[in-house]
């Protein structure tokens, strides 16, 4: 195992910290709400979280779990599509590392060949007229066979898709630098600056999907991009629908 090392995670202008274990890197930074950019990485999270409160599973040394805190001059209501912009940044950085088939699943999953490689969780808190934003990212680096059985879905790891192993510190640094650049671009221009790239990286663009809505109903249609607020556009027999809270099930 290559241990995490704050000095080896090169992200200019950001305070970088590494801890052996914590409850959740997102929760720690959200409670602290630092005024300057901070990156916190953990070897192990006891209660790491994914979307809708699901647990994020990560064995020590098998992946990277880290969070980036930054304040933004936009209200939480203006950040509804931020996870998609961060997804574009993360997928770009993974492709730069050599994962040429890195893709996105709406709204916040990283995929390779349909298997889940990582996930993104963004949380916000208002403070003194600005918004404290915490971006949590988890990426599988080393294969853990029992993880797929535990999650009952296909799971990917970086080592399976890279020509040569890359240190976890380098993974964090590469992804974090791209994500911070994306936060700056989003603050200036919103999701519009990422819409074309997101559609190009979307694993299901133009494909027929079945989704489960928040009320439990299901809907089927063809994915046709995203809205200005990050909603998934689904073309069905009854027209074009904008889905803001749904889960792709097939």
Q: Which helix (H) or strand (E) holds 39?
A: strand 38-45
Question: Helices in 25-100 by DSSP H: which ranges?
Answer: 25-32, 82-97
Q: What is the pLDDT of residue 57?
A: 55
pTM value is 0.92
Domain with residues 6-200, CATH architecture? 2-Layer Sandwich (3.30)
> From first to last of its 250 residues, what are the pLDDT tens digits of the chain?
689 999 999 999 999 999 999 999 999 999 998 989 999 999 998 875 555 455 555 677 789 999 999 999 888 889 989 999 999 999 999 999 999 999 999 999 999 999 999 999 999 998 877 899 999 999 999 887 766 566 666 889 999 999 888 999 999 999 999 999 999 999 999 999 999 999 999 999 999 999 999 888 999 999 999 999 999 999 999 999 999 888 888 7
C-alpha span between 78 and 190 (Å, rounded)? 8
Q: What are phi and psi of 218, to 5 degrees?
A: -115, 155
CB 119 within 8 A of CB 130: no
Q: What is the DSSP letter of 55?
A: B
Q: What is the CATH number of domain 205-248?
A: 2.30.30.100
Question: Helices in 99-167 by DSSP H: which ranges?
Answer: 145-151
CA atoms within 13 A on the CB side of 200: 9
Q: Strand 15-22 vs strand 38-45: parallel, antiparallel, or unpaired?
A: parallel
Q: Show me where the domains of the chain are located.
A: 6-200, 205-248
CB 141 within 8 A of CB 62: yes
CA atoms within 13 A on the CB side of 93: 24
Q: What is the pLDDT of residue 152?
A: 64
Q: What is the pLDDT of residue 149?
A: 64
């Amino acid at each position: 195992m290559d241990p995490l090392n704050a000095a080896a995670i090169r992200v200019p202008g950001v305070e970088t910290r590494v801890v052996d274990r914590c409850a959740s890197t997102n929760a720690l930074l959200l409670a602290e709400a630092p005024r300057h950019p901070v990156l916190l990485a953990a070897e192990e999270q006891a209660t790491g979280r994914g979307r809708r409160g699901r647990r994020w599973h990560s064995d020590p040394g098998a992946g990277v779990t880290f969070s980036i805190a930054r304040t933004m001059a936009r209200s939480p209501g203006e950040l509804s599509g931020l996870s998609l912009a961060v997804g574009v940044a993360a997928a770009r950085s993974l492709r730069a590392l050599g994962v040429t088939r890195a893709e996105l699943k709406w709204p916040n999953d990283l995929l390779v060949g349909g298997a889940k490689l990582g996930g993104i969780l963004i949380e916000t808190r208002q403070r003194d007229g600005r918004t404290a934003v915490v971006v949590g990212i988890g990426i599988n680096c080393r294969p853990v066979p029992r993880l797929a059985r535990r999650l009952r879905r296909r799971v990917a790891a970086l080592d399976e898709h890279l020509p040569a192993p890359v240190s976890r510190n380098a993974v964090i640094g590469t992804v974090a630098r791209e994500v911070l650049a994306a936060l700056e671009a989003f603050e200036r221009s919103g999701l519009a600056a990422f819409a074309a790239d997101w559609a190009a990286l979307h694993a299901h663009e133009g494909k027929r999907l079945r989704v489960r809505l928040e009320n439990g109903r299901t809907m089927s249609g063809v994915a046709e991009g995203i809205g200005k607020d990050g909603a998934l556009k689904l073309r069905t027999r009854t027209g074009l629908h904008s889905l803001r809270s749904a889960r792709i099930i097939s």
